[in-house]
Structure 1
Amino acid sequence: MSVAANKQATPAAEIGNEQEGRSNHWEVRTQEQPYAFLPTHEDKNEIKEKNRYGQLIDCVDISGLPEGRSMFINENPEVGTNPNRNKQHGFFFTADNCIGCHACEAACSEKNENPAHLAFRSVGYVEGGSYPDYKRMNISMACNHCDDPVCLKGCPTKAYTKHAEYGAVLQDPETCFGCGYCTWVCPYNAPQLDPVKGRVSKCNMCVDRLEVGLKPACVSACVGNALDFGVIENTPENREQCKTSIPGFPDPEITHPNIRFQQTKTLPDEMSRTDSMPVKYHKDDKGNYKPVVDQKEGKAKFWNFAKLNSKENPLVLFTLFAQAAFGTLLIPFLAALFGIDAFVAFINSDMFLPLTIISLLMTSFALFMSVTHLGKPFRFYRGFNNLRYSPMSREGLGLAMFSAGCGLTALFSLPGNLWLNELSVSWLDLNLAQMTSELPLAAMQTGAGIFALIAGFIGIFYMNKCYQIKARPFWNHLQTVTSFSGNSLSLGALVSGVIVITTLVMQQAESAVIQQAVLVFGLVLCVGMIIEAIGLIRHNHDLNRNENEGGAAHYVQCTTFGKTYLLRNYLLALNIVAATSLVMVTAITEFTVTLALAWIAVALLNVVTALIGRALFYILVIPTTMPGAFFWKNKGFEQHARDIGLADNPATGVAPLAH
């Protein structure tokens, strides 16, 4: 019999003496009750080989790591006493027993010394029916230590680790730089971003308690015997179900979470959330509850321009500037490679150097804005730690390499720049062209430009991948691709068009050459806006028919921001019509100042459209997260608390609008 099993049969007076002979990862207090100890399952026949998703329960077999190694918990190098420490453990929640007392929350927060605005475990609820047949079902939820932890794969700093011991997904707050990406990809709201400390932390499965045979603090504190814990797929005593989902729980196929449920009491066919999320749950023909849109706010349309201003503003600028910078270099450089006369002349002119520098500066500003969004901005260099898995790491590397490519292109353009050569001869008696005459500068410039475009494409590609998140169906759509690629073309056409056409005019190029350049930029502008419009049409079509969190986000888009959404769509349609008309006019008439002003007006109007659209993109997303309570974990209550000043009370649990 193991030490943990002996504890359950040992008088409380003797526990203190036995503590001396065991590892001290956690103090086993004399008042520990038998239900606080882990089941040992020494009979190996009790433990299944695989879970219901086909994953091996023995984590050593998966990881290849040796058994018996120390986790170095609480600075302690000893090895724990749990005989099943290398098996995947998980929580078991019996919804029928939960009384919503929040004792699990309190115990978790006390053990982890969490501030009032954070909770690694939280209790929400859904309700349905009407008097006298009214039902409420409470849901206690923390990290589920999944088989496929999307937080681990998404984290750019590599702050997450899936341990062979207990299958715990652990996160190191000291490694984290506070980007919050793990909070986006997790469907269960497990990682908690602290806007005060600027970093993420989460449930650690109480591995220090597990090492001495104790269940997690939340389980030991549960008053109603609703929470239990042990090797996954082992149904606790006095339980008859081991389900993977209950009403309000996101699709387990996203991450294969290590939590099992029992819920036997009859519930109404429709269950509503008590928080402000416009989602409810409807029972299908198979008895499973699926999310549907809950039109809590009616169908009235509003502007709400003030609400477009959010903590995600740096990301609005980051994405738009990065996309515009890529398009700024892409259009003239690619057109020159295809041999279009106007662009060949521009690439060979002195103004190609300023264009590459402008593209470099725009990318640098974009990256700076992404850094300001971090909770710990000075740790930005850690963003490249997880290139193996994280699209965010790859996005950052791609854009950094694009900046380097722009810099090299500018560098190789210096010797051939006549204006700089004249300046260097007159001021420094130094001729760059003579110094580099033996170098194949034209080929080097072309090579650096091609490298920049490839790197920029990789950066924009992974920028899109960052938002293809199953836990956020509003983003996980073709429209994200069309928006990012369309803005790269339309905004890039504006910036590079101004530079190129101004250069051609100042060089007194032939009218046909100027007309050719205007037509190319006009067509690219049209194509970019049409691509974006196609995505928006498809997005509207799909989400109008989707009864999930994506459909709920679209409902908010059409009501809370309904007039703003229509304005953006009308402006985009107007831009497309105007730009198409201007292309036809440009094709048959000479380029004039009036025509130039008309093009500039359309391009600037497109900038306004892009800003509104990107702000809506960040404001509207509704994740597939767990239900909150009327007060706790309720965005509506948080906003109300800020409006009336209640948020100023630190005991309220409303975090400052930081990060």
Structure 2
Amino acid sequence: MNQELKKSPAMDSMVNSFDPATMSDTPTQAPTAQSSHWEIRTQEQDYAFLSDKEHAIENRYGKRIDLVELTDKPKNRSMFINENPEVGSNPNRNKQHGFFFTADNCIGCHACEAACSEKNENPAHIAFRSVGYVEGGSYPDYKRMNISMACNHCDDPVCLKGCPTRAYTKHAEYGAVLQDPETCFGCGYCTWVCPYNAPQLDPVKGRVSKCNMCVDRLEVGLKPACVSACVGNALDFGVIENTPKNREQCKTSIPGFPDPEITHPNIRFQQTKTLPDDMNRTDSMPVKYHKDQDGDYRPVIDQKAGKEKHWHLDKLSSRENPLVLFTLFAQAAFGTFAISFLAAILGFDVFVRFFHSDMFLPLTLLSLAMTAFALLMSVTHLGKPMRFYRGFNNLRYSPMAREGFGLTLFTIGCGITALLLIPHNEWLVTTVKQSLGVDLAKLLSAFAVENAPLFSASFAVVSGAAGLYYMNKCYQIKARPFWHHIQTATAFSGNSLSLGAIISGMLLLPTLTVQNATEHELTQALIVLGAVFIIGLVIEAIGLLKHNYDMNRSSNEGGAAHYIQCTTFGKSYLFRNTLLALNLVFTATLLVMTLNTELSSGLYLAWLIAALICTLTSVIGRALFYVLVIPTTMPGAFFWKNKAFEQHARDIGLADNPATGVAPLAH
């Protein structure tokens, strides 16, 4: 098993460890066996031992608790902890385990957080388990509820399905969702899809790591380090659905906890103390929680930033800038190639003529170069760029893997099409022969197959469409409601059409002019490209209207993100939307003029202005897309796990102290 479960560097020799097979019912009796699963440094207390005797057959979601029955793996398979082939003798090692958190008992001491970080040797800016809190009421009836949260080792782990490298595994042993940092290439997609902020992306090491359920301790009958360190008896652990002693409840939710239906997490809660109807987060996120009629707390918008609109253009730049370029260039490249090719297939004379001209080769090469640049930008976004090839490991589940695979096939399709076009390119063949004395037509005669470019171009279009489809699926994330909307699809497809029409026109129209095309042919080309351009703008505008309508009526994190969009970035958002609306009217007018008047340099200039405006609105819109999203994550503390405080620490230089826990601005 590839899993980062570390030994204590201070221990060089074998030491006594607890093994359930050698223990009596009294956990304090000294064990006689030895094991190297986990090296023990201090005597464990009674409460640190697992004590599950019985368990249910299914959990409340209808999933089997005995996981070995769901797999073809041997019941006594070794987990190779610390590269040791021994098999633990825990009688419940093949049952789904989980955490139990009693909020009434948590005093916010962070002992669990410290114990976890100590055992896993985490740096200050990484915490597999974090303690945050929500508060409400007013003096003297002020209430505060602490929340300790780590990985919940879910029944339906979205991190596992989303990871393109297959760094995650759901094990039959304890139901642990384990992640291998050595397989990870640091894309951070698992941190996007997880609703609980469990996977931690280390910007220094450029990779993700997370809670491993302390399976090394479980193998020898001990509870995880965080549970054993809990001062207030707030954390407990065992076979899922087994309510610990002296507990009254076994709920699946608590104020501040995201919807458990997203992943079916293996954590249960108790919270019996009366809380105010409104519980506030103390971090900077504009979300609070309101008790509804059934007694459950739902997220609502907390207008912490007021209602004043700002520009904040400087904040549009983020560490996701490579993804802004990746998505825009990939969409524009596909649109450029697909529009010209499909228009030729549909029988538009000028596009048929362009497809058979020498200039379709440069267009193909340009589409290939733009896609290659886009893929390069996606690679530079990785924490471990040299491991980019692992991005295809999880084609079975990961939309990110499928996105990259589709765009790679599109690039290959464009390359093959370009190779097949070279023997038919008279200008290139003549120029190379005159300057170098090489007869390209003869050299590449094997590729001069009739209709071969047609098939390779069709392959490229299909592959590119699949890549863009899965690009949209990458952002349809339940843990990020601001993205989980049709507007993501309309923005991506709209930009592909509008930007593709711009670049196609920049190649097609000069080519037709050089070929002495008639004004009718030029008009036909401009009308087709202009119509596609306008359709792209219309699709994008419809998506924005729908998104604005839905987010204004949403009380979840999507609505909170839209609130930030309308306040912190209110003027930038209004500017982009106004430009888009004006450009739509402007281009519609230009299209009518193109249909009814003669072509002129003034008309071409007007279309160029419309193209520049579209490019500007596309860049602003995509930057807002990445900056604004608010995930469904657990509340942070007032200082740490608080984005506003992290920025404050950077502004005043506190972040330069490595002990403060503020992650460097790197990926």
The CA distance in 2 between the partners of 1:25 and 1:125, in whole Å, is 35
Q: Measured at CA, do residues 278 and 83 of structure 1 come closer, stay the same or move farther in structure 2, by a change above 3 Å?
A: same
Q: For 1:454-505, what per-residue CA distance to the aligned partner results, in whole angstroms no more than 9, with x for missing partners?
A: 0000000000000000000000000000000000000001111110011001
What residue in structure 1 maps to residue 47 of structure 2?
35
- Partners of 1:24 and 1:212 within 8 A in 2: no
Deviations 1:425-469 (A, max 9, x none): 323444333566686634100001000000000000000000000
Residue from 475, 481, 484 that aligns with 1:476: 484
Q: Choose the corresponding residue for 1:63, options 42, 65, 71.
A: 71
Aligned to 1:568: 576
Matched, 1:533 2:541: yes
CA distance in 2, matches of 1:165, 1:382: 26
TM-score when normalising by structure 2: 0.96
CA contact (8 A) 2:103 2:271 kept: yes
Task: Give, in angstroms, the shift of residue 29 of structure 1.
Answer: 4.7
Matched, 1:23 2:31: no
Q: Is the contact made by 1:188 and 1:250 (CA closer than 8 Å) also made in structure 2?
A: yes
Where 2:98 maps in the other structure, the secondary structure is: strand
The one-letter amino acid paired with 1:37 is F
Distance 2:187 2:194 in 1: 14
| Aligned twin of 1:126 | 134
Pairwise CA distance, 1:542: 0.1
User: Contact (CA 8 Å) 1:8, 1:37: kept in 2 or not?
Assistant: no
The answer for unaligned runs of 5 or more in structure 1 is none
Q: In the alignment, is residue 6 of structure 1 matched against residue 23 of structure 2? A: yes
CA contact (8 A) 1:303 1:562 kept: yes
User: Would the alpha carbon gap of residues 577 and 256 (structure 1) be closer, same or farther in structure 2, given more than 3 Å must change?
Assistant: same
Please say if 1:138 is aligned against 2:142.
no
Question: Within 5 A, what are the aligned runs for 1:350-361?
Answer: 350-361=358-369
- What letter is aligned with 1:507? Q
CA distance in 1, matches of 2:511, 2:343: 16
Aligned residues: 650
The letter for the 2-side match of 1:203 is C
- The alignment partner of 2:424 has SS state of coil
Is 1:489 equivalent to 2:497 in the alignment? yes
Distance 2:458 2:518 in 1: 28
Query: What is the 5 A alignment of 1:199-210?
Result: 199-210=207-218
1:625–1:4 Cα change, 3 Å: farther
1:22-49 Cα distance to aligned partner (Å, 9 max, x none) = 43201345521010011141xxxx3100
SS across alignment from 1:74: helix
What is aligned with 2:590? Answer: 582
In structure 2, distance between residues paired with 1:249 and 1:294: 16
Letter in 2 for 1:159: A
- Give how far 1:2 is off: 8.2
In structure 1, give the amino acid aligned to 2:345: L
SS in 2 for 1:138: strand
Give the partner amino acid of 1:403.
Answer: T
Q: Per-residue deviation at 1:9?
A: 2.0
Asked if 2 retains the 8 angstrom alpha-carbon contact of 1:23 and 1:79, the reply is no
- Asked if 2 retains the 8 angstrom alpha-carbon contact of 1:5 and 1:39, the reply is no
**How big is the alpha-carbon RMSD for the aligned residues of Structure 1 and Structure 2?**
1.4
- Aligned equivalents of 2:380, 2:392: Cα separation in 1: 17
Q: Distance in 2 between matches of 1:10 and 1:238?
A: 19
Match of 1:278 among 283, 286, 304: 286
Provide the rounded CA distance (Å) in 2 between the counterparts of 1:370 and 1:347. 31
Return closer, same or farther for 1:480/1:353 CA change in 2, 3 Å cut-off: same
Give the 3-state SS of the residue equivalent to 2:611 in structure 1.
helix
How is 1:108-119 mapped onto 2 (pairs within 5 angstroms)? Answer: 108-119=116-127
Structure 2: distance between partners of 1:39 and 1:156: 38
1:185 is aligned, of 171, 193, 202, to 193
Residues 224-261 of structure 1 deviation map (CA, whole Å, 9 limit, x = unaligned) = 00000000000001111000000000000000000000
Q: 2:411 aligns with which of 403, 412, 425?
A: 403
Provide structure 2 residue ranges, at least 5 long, that are not aligned to the other structure: 1-17
Match status 1:170 vs 2:187: no
Closer, same or farther in 2 for the Cα pair 1:443/1:31, shift >3 Å? Answer: same
Structure 2: distance between partners of 1:243 and 1:484 = 40
In the superposition, the TM-score normalised over structure 1's length comes to: 0.97
Deviates more, 1:640-649 or 1:383-392: 640-649
User: In 2 relative to 1, CA 30–617 (structure 1 residues): closer, same or farther, beyond 3 Å?
Assistant: closer
User: How far apart in 1 are the matches of 2:607 and 2:546?
Assistant: 28
Q: What CA distance in whole angstroms lies between the structure 1 residues aligned with 2:28 and 2:247? A: 28
CA distance, structure 2, for counterparts of residue 648 and residue 612 of structure 1: 31
Partner of 2:514: 506
Residue among 333, 337, 354 paired with 1:329: 337
1:304 maps to 2:321: no
How many Å separate the matches in 2 of 1:59 and 1:92? 19
